[in-house]
Amino acid sequence: MRRVLILGGTAEARALAAELAGPGVHVVSSLAGRVSDPRLPVGEVREGGFGGPDGLAAWLTARRVDALVDATHPFASRMTASAAEAARRTGVPLLVLRRPGWREGPGDEWRRVPSLEAAAELLTAPARVFLTTGRRSLQVFAGRPGVWLLARSVDPPEPPVPAGVHVLLDRGPYTVEGERALIREYRLDVLVTKDSGGAMTTAKLVAARELGLPVIMVDRPPLPEGLGLVGDVSTAAAWARGRA
């Protein structure tokens, strides 16, 4: 029995687990455990961190893993760095699976920035902001005079919620009609988001284009040097089978 470890709770990670699971291949999917009630993939599932590259390297060795696929969120840079270091130490082949990023199209008004902090610096009063960068980033944007935030996330942020912030708990996929209605209901005038890519949350970008909202787009962090990168599940599955 050959063993493949998939890192990540993304839709791509779940699809990869489903494609690889079968006779002769044992798939283990590792979830960070940061989202309550996650959507679980087929096969064996473990939750929680490994304890950095040391812990991951020890786990790969103990479980005799033949191939490692990092299918984490495009902004999970710490986990990707740990995976790269653990793979280097153990010699386990590593591939990064990332959904393609979003691209600006006709009618879009985007401003790309390298970080959350740079995005926050662009917010000037008065502004009503549609913030979709995740609950852990809330403190970066909160407390700016004259800036009101509608912060959407799957799970609630750690209390207390700062003044001038309204938290909306929701999980995609979203519709363009629903995003248009949300923008109008809360009278939002700018969208701040991360370049996560994928179809599940692209409706907000379409709605912003249709309603003339400017978008502040946070670029993805760079990958560690030397890592193989693919953008689709089928290619990642073929790679993993070739090593498992």
Give the 3-state DSSP-derived string for the chain, with helices as H, strands as E and coil as C: CEEEEEECCCHHHHHHHHHHCECCEEEEEEECCCCCCCCCCCCEEEECCCCHHHHHHHHHHHCCCCEEEECCCCCCHHHHHHHHHHHHHHCCCEEEECCCCCCCCCCCCEEEECCHHHHHHCCCCCEEEEEECCHHHHHHHCCCCCEEEEEEECCCCCCCCCCCEEEEECCCCCCHHHHHHHHHHCCCCEEEEECCCCCCCCHHHHHHHHHCCCEEEECCCCCCCCCEEECCHHHHHHHHHHHC
Question: Residue 143 is encoded by which pair of tokens?
Answer: 């407390």
Banded model confidence at residue 22, pLDDT cuts 50, 70, 90? confident
pLDDT at 45: 94
Report the distance separating Cα 96 and Cα 120, nearest Å. Answer: 29
Which tens digit of pLDDT belongs to each residue from 57-113?
999 999 999 999 999 999 999 999 999 999 999 999 999 999 999 999 999 999 999
pLDDT at 27: 96
pLDDT higher than threshold 80 for residue 165: yes
Which tens digit of pLDDT belongs to each residue from 187-235?
999 999 999 998 889 999 999 999 999 999 999 999 999 999 999 999 9
pLDDT at 36: 64
pLDDT higher than threshold 70 for residue 159: yes
Q: pTM for the complete prediction?
A: 0.89
Contact 167, 157 (CB under 8 A): yes
Domains present along the chain, CATH in parentheses: 2-100+222-243 (3.40.50.720), 110-218 (3.40.50.720)
